Amino acid sequence: MLEIQNITIGYGVCEVVRDVSFSLKDGDILAIVGANGAGKTTLLKSLNATLPLMNGGILLEGKPLENYSRREIARKITVIAQENETKFPISVLDFVLAGRFAHGGNFGWESERDMQIALDSLEICDLQNYESRVMNQLSGGERQRVILARALATEAQILLLDEPTTNLDLSHQALMFRLVKERCKGCGSAAIVITHDLNLASEFADEVLLLKRGQMIAKGNPAEIFTEENLQEIFGIRVLLDENPISKNVRITTIY
């Protein structure tokens, strides 16, 4: 559903992401892994046309991304950004309803359906009875879940998540990934997730993309990608790799 062809992105003359190509299929969860400053966020921002491409192209459902209007893109692609602007004292329900903007008209008021979807999204994110709480009075983790609820409320088929678990406690990290996974497996959505938690990537991602100084150096399933050599190259650390005895996925332990 998303085809990325040789894209180069930068600020001014400085190229931050160079010549990256990959494709995202229905139901896929793709994890982008790389060191700080490797260009992960820049890459993600270009995928919903927030940042212009210097080179290459992106096809959304076979059509070039630049042929879509802002509303059309927002209906198909949603993001959970890294630095979120949530300091405005707005109620949780109104915040989540903002996710329905692209579905309404110009003089739009929310329909009954919009309201229902917003309430459902809050409920699956473990936020029942939060509707009238105010955003700037929530904890970081609660806010993060509200942001997920808003993203889910868009009903977009592609989810772009930039370090979505940063502020979450263990149970809500798992909840976040379970919800994303359910969306992808159940509704044929697809997700691209930037994460520093390699074990979560190993558990939940179908594919992992390694990014180093703006270039893609490997892509494949977690077991292929999470090797001692690759992790040494990306992070310059030594790791112990074994198998998670329950899920049978590769498990990564840092050796300090």
Partner 1 sequence: MRTRKKIDKKFSTSLRLGGLFFALLVLAVLAAIYFGSEKLAFFELSGSDKAILFDIRLPRILLGASVGAALALAGASLQSLLRNPLAEPYLLGVSNGAALGTMLAFVFFAQFEFARPVMAFTGASLATFVVYQMAKSPAGMNVERLVLSGVIVTTFLSSIIVLFTSLLDATKLRSFTFWLLGDLSQATWNGFYLSFGAVLVGILVLLKNARALNLMMIGERDAFDFGVEVNKTRLAVFATSSLLVGTAVAASGSVGYVGLIIPHIVRLAIGSDNRLVIPFSALAGAIFVVSADTVARVAIAPRELPVGAITALIGAPMFIYLLRRS
Verify binding: residue 115, partner 1, rule CB under 8 A.
Answer: yes
Verify binding: residue 22, partner 1, rule CB under 8 A.
Answer: no
Verify binding: residue 85, partner 1, rule CB under 8 A.
Answer: yes
Instruction: Quote the tokens at residue 171.
Output: 């149970």
The span from the CA of 6 to the CA of 18, in Å, is 8
Instruction: Quote the tokens at residue 254.
Output: 């840092």
Q: Find the shortest distance in angstroms from Cβ 238 to partner 1.
A: 38
The span from the CA of 193 to the CA of 44, in Å, is 9
Verify binding: residue 174, partner 1, rule CB under 8 A.
Answer: no
Instruction: Identify each DSSP E strand in 127-214 by its residue range.
Output: 158-162, 190-194, 207-212
Q: Find the shortest distance in angstroms from Cβ 174 to partner 1.
A: 25
Place of tokens 């559903």: 1
User: Do 33 and 210 form a contact (C-beta atoms < 8 A)?
Assistant: yes
User: Do 8 and 53 form a contact (C-beta atoms < 8 A)?
Assistant: yes
Residue 112 or 229 having the CB closest to partner 1:
112
Verify binding: residue 89, partner 1, rule CB under 8 A.
Answer: yes
Q: Pick from 18, 75, 181, 183: which binds partner 1 (CB under 8 A)?
A: 75
Q: Which of 76, 56, 78, 84 is nearest to 216 (CA)?
A: 56
Q: Which of 185, 183, 180 is nearest to 194 (CA)?
A: 180
Stretch that binds partner 1, among 4-12, 33-41, 67-75, 201-209 (CB under 8 A): 67-75
User: Do 114 and 101 form a contact (C-beta atoms < 8 A)?
Assistant: no
Site size for partner 1, by CB under 8 A? 35
Verify binding: residue 112, partner 1, rule CB under 8 A.
Answer: yes
CA distances to 228, 250, 256 from 238, rounded to whole Å, are: 7, 15, 8
Q: Pick from 30, 31, 53, 74: which binds partner 1 (CB under 8 A)?
A: 74
Verify binding: residue 90, partner 1, rule CB under 8 A.
Answer: yes
Verify binding: residue 102, partner 1, rule CB under 8 A.
Answer: yes
Stretch that binds partner 1, among 31-39, 94-102, 174-182, 213-221 (CB under 8 A): 94-102
**Which spans of this chain sit near partner 1 (rule: CB under 8 A)?**
48, 50, 70-71, 73-75, 78-79, 81, 84-86, 88-90, 93-95, 98-99, 101-102, 104, 106-110, 112, 115-116, 119, 150, 154
